[in-house]
Amino acid sequence: MNSYITHYDIHVYFEKDTPSEQEAVDLQRKLHQIFPNIRLYPPCRDPVGPHPVGMWEGHLVSEKEFS
């Protein structure tokens, strides 16, 4: 990363109380198992800020997270 970019965001969107919500949670769990050093945040089931539906977020800060 360069001096202007401090991290990259991951946003995974889902519709609350639908199969897509469980798929998003399963994806987050799997990502954490494979890459335990990635910062993952709890799912927000309702719209928040500019996000129109439920979502969870992750931050990629450095290459070390992928080891």
DSSP for 36-66, please give it.
Answer: TTSEE---B-S-BTTBSSEEEEEEE--GGGG
Instruction: Give the C-alpha separation, 39 to 50, whole Å.
Output: 21
Instruction: Identify the helix (H) or strand (E) that includes residue 36.
Output: none
* Model confidence, pTM: 0.84
Per-residue pLDDT of 9-66, as tens digits, reads: 999 999 999 999 999 999 999 999 998 989 999 999 999 999 999 999 999 888 777 6
Q: Give the pLDDT band (50/70/90) at residue 5.
A: confident
Name the token pair of 12.
């995974």
Looking at residue 50, its pLDDT comes to: 94
Residue 37 to residue 24: CA distance in whole angstroms: 19
Between 58 and 2, residue with greater pLDDT: 58
pLDDT grade for 67, boundaries at 50, 70 and 90: low
